[in-house]
Structure 1
Amino acid sequence: MASNPPAPQTSFAPSDKQRDTFGYGRGPDEGPWEEWNPTEESIRPVRGRHRVSKQRGGGLARSSTVLGVGVIAAVGAGGMATAQTGKPPVSISMPDLPSVGSLLPGGSDEAPEDSATPLTGAGLTTADAAEGTTDAGEALRARIMQQAETQQDQVDSAAQQAAETAAAKSAAEQAAKEKDEAEKKADAEKKKAEAEAKEKAEAKRLAELAKNYALPTSSYTLTSHFGDSGSMWSSGHHTGLDFAAPTGTPIKAIHSGTVTEAGWSGAYGYRTVLTLDDGTELWFCHQSSISVSAGQKVATGDVIGRVGATGNVTGPHLHLEVHPGGGAAIDPLAWLNSKGLNP
């Protein structure tokens, strides 16, 4: 496609004939003709939107450009249509091209002098065209900025929603935690109250029970406990609870029952066996004297003998043993505590 060659540049002023021919005349008040030397300030483009005004003699270049674009489109479209052999021709719509007369100076298709019609519509919307916007780059930039702002608003909205969701989740977790802690605290308080109530009930029961039980002697000191080890006991350990007291101190029946044995019993010295109604045997050993006989029934607190030092002993004391059901001995102190007694 042919192109317009650049205009030759000259460093001399046009002659009078050239001025008359091309309209470069000057008035009588104007000074002598001076050569124009362009500078950076004089050729700096005007920024922002501006209107494209008519340039004399420029219609040919603009129309040539439009014509060239139309020809290329027509040739390309025609080539695409003919390349498809064996297929029916494709209908191609051609844009309206300016007449040849518009390519010449003074043609009828030239744009008005103050026309704001842009050379291209790239990036322009209908609203932009209605407002007379001719700067395609500025219009595209505005659209991009608007799209960026919209996307940023969406991002901010999503971030806010995520923050609100996280806050709601955290609040729900905190509420659940507080509820769980409150339930645990209430459960602990309930258990504590139940334990206290149970303890009070047990204390009341033992108090009532203690009315039916009594300590075996008075003015005593506990010396040897159940399970103490030593060579003085044949089994290697102590099987009862010792109440050290002066000789002759009264020994009382701990609970009502029947005397099943009363007499001498080797290492135990003088011993009395009192069998309770539930079959528990109470052994009172090392007595200095016995006050009851076998087969006799006694009540709680009755005197059944006296503290002594008979049998295998090192001093006067009452050796008490407890045999549930007549079997092996257990800790007398724990048994007395279970009956509400605290020696």
Structure 2
Amino acid sequence: MAATATLPGADFGVDGERGWDEWNPTEETVRPVRGKHRVAKQRNGLARSSAVLGVGVIAAVGAGGMASAQGKPPVSISLPDSIADNLPDAKSLPGVGALLSDKSEDDGAAPATAPLTTAGITTAEAEQGTTDAGEALRARILQQAEQQQAAAAAEAREAQEKAAAEKAAAEAKKQQDAAEAKAAAEKKKAEEKTKEEARKKAEALRLAKLAASYAVPTTSYTITSTYGQAGTMWSSGHHTGLDFAAPTGTPVKAVHGGTIKSAGWSGSYGYRTVLELEDGTEVWYCHQSSIGVGVGQKVSTGDTIGRVGATGNVTGPHLHLEIHTADGTGVDPMGWLRSKGLNI
């Protein structure tokens, strides 16, 4: 008894379509072989060939045959019992058994098939109405390209923002450094000003103390000749002291405490008194009308030691004052008196 099988794609009784006849191999169609062992091998080989054929048919249907087979009536194929008995169970074939559900065997319902064009479509894409796998692939590629482009744009934007932030930070640091340098310069200037003011204040205090211990040599005076002034009236060709013009008899005072070194007539200087200070400085009082102290006498600041006169080489009553250092060098009396805090 021959087993009968059907293949999709056959069309019986339809004009213009190719028909398929029932195939029943006979002894004439089977090549005679010798030996039972060889026949068994042939049957096993035929079984294997049939399995390969079944897998090939399934693969062909998966590759596109199913799309063309839809709507075609099944074709019956008769196979000899020897071949049908050796065909493997469809569920045992790799990749095929999973396609057959238990439900189809129980209730006889045919498994649902989908067009090949829907293969590879995800559930989300199907829910969005996508039915074409090529279009879905194209959409995925475009989406991936857009994502890559967006990532590149985001990276470029991030790099620009980073560069801008670094530039802003550098500019801020530059401004901060400039501000700090300016503040430091102003602080230094203020400190220097403060130091200068402190120095001036200290000098003023020193001069005030000196002024308390030094006195102007006379009062009611007018400066008529200064130190170093050139003229034929002086034997040296220039003036060697400072002249305080005042009325005859005006008191002459000790500029500082010291000892009377000499007192008396001194030629062109007229009556002269020499006061020696503790540091060896000598103060000469010349052209006096009278002398009120003696040699070796100790005097204090402001003590009267004589009177203004017009003795010696003079043109009128005045006090001729000279200052000599300890080594005998003459200096400007006005500068020396001012260095002691006196206003001349």
Mark yes or no: TM-score above 0.5: yes
Deviation at 1:252, TM superposition (A): 0.9
1:215-249 Cα offsets, whole Å, 9 max, x none, are 10000112222233334334443332221112221
Partner of 1:312: 313
In 1, are the aligned partners of 2:251 and 2:307 still within 8 Å (CA)?
yes
Partner of 1:155: 156
Deviation at 1:116, TM superposition (A): 3.2
Partner of 1:176: 177
Paired residue secondary structure (1:116): helix
Deviation at 1:115, TM superposition (A): 4.9
Deviation at 1:274, TM superposition (A): 0.8
Partner of 1:276: 277
Measure, in 1, the Cα distance between the counterparts of 2:313 and 2:144. Answer: 115
Question: In the TM superposition, what are the counterparts of 1:133-282 in structure 2 within 5 Å?
Answer: 134=134, 143-282=144-283
Deviates more, 1:265-274 or 1:320-329: 265-274
Deviation at 1:200, TM superposition (A): 2.9
Deviation at 1:161, TM superposition (A): 1.1
Whether 1:294 and 2:249 are equivalent positions in the alignment is no
Measure, in 2, the Cα distance between the counterparts of 1:323 and 1:133. Answer: 121
Deviation at 1:280, TM superposition (A): 0.5
Partner of 1:328: 329
Percent identity, please: 52
Count of residue pairs brought into register by the alignment: 240
**Greater helix fraction, Structure 1 or Structure 2:** 2
Question: Considering only aligned residues, what root-mean-square deviation do their CA atoms show, in Å?
Answer: 3.8
In 1, are the aligned partners of 2:64 and 2:116 still within 8 Å (CA)?
no
Paired residue secondary structure (1:223): strand
Measure, in 1, the Cα distance between the counterparts of 2:275 and 2:246. Answer: 21
Deviates more, 1:311-320 or 1:133-142: 133-142
The change in CA–CA distance for 1:323 and 1:142 in structure 2 (over 3 A counts) is same
User: Which structure would you say has the larger Rg?
Assistant: 2
The change in CA–CA distance for 1:188 and 1:109 in structure 2 (over 3 A counts) is closer
In 2, are the aligned partners of 1:133 and 1:139 still within 8 Å (CA)?
no
In 2, are the aligned partners of 1:243 and 1:317 still within 8 Å (CA)?
yes
- TM-score scaled by length of structure 2: 0.57
Measure, in 1, the Cα distance between the counterparts of 2:278 and 2:325. Answer: 11
In 1, are the aligned partners of 2:259 and 2:299 still within 8 Å (CA)?
yes
Deviation at 1:276, TM superposition (A): 0.7
Partner of 1:285: 286
Paired residue secondary structure (1:246): coil
Measure, in 1, the Cα distance between the counterparts of 2:238 and 2:294. Answer: 30
Deviates more, 1:250-259 or 1:235-244: 235-244
Measure, in 2, the Cα distance between the counterparts of 1:140 and 1:313. Answer: 122
Measure, in 2, the Cα distance between the counterparts of 1:227 and 1:199. Answer: 29
Measure, in 2, the Cα distance between the counterparts of 1:151 and 1:278. Answer: 91
**Greater strand fraction, Structure 1 or Structure 2:** 2
The change in CA–CA distance for 1:168 and 1:290 in structure 2 (over 3 A counts) is same
Deviates more, 1:174-183 or 1:268-277: 174-183
Question: In the TM superposition, what are the counterparts of 1:98-137 in structure 2 within 5 Å?
Answer: 109=64, 112=67, 115-116=116-117, 132=132, 134=134
1:152-187 Cα offsets, whole Å, 9 max, x none, are 211111111122222223333333333343344334
Deviation at 1:142, TM superposition (A): 5.0
Measure, in 1, the Cα distance between the counterparts of 2:181 and 2:66. Answer: 83
Measure, in 2, the Cα distance between the counterparts of 1:180 and 1:270. Answer: 66
The change in CA–CA distance for 1:138 and 1:301 in structure 2 (over 3 A counts) is same
In 1, are the aligned partners of 2:244 and 2:319 still within 8 Å (CA)?
yes
The change in CA–CA distance for 1:259 and 1:150 in structure 2 (over 3 A counts) is same
Measure, in 1, the Cα distance between the counterparts of 2:335 and 2:241. Answer: 11
The change in CA–CA distance for 1:202 and 1:110 in structure 2 (over 3 A counts) is same
In 2, are the aligned partners of 1:281 and 1:326 still within 8 Å (CA)?
no
Deviates more, 1:177-186 or 1:243-252: 177-186
Paired residue secondary structure (2:117): coil
In 1, are the aligned partners of 2:285 and 2:320 still within 8 Å (CA)?
yes
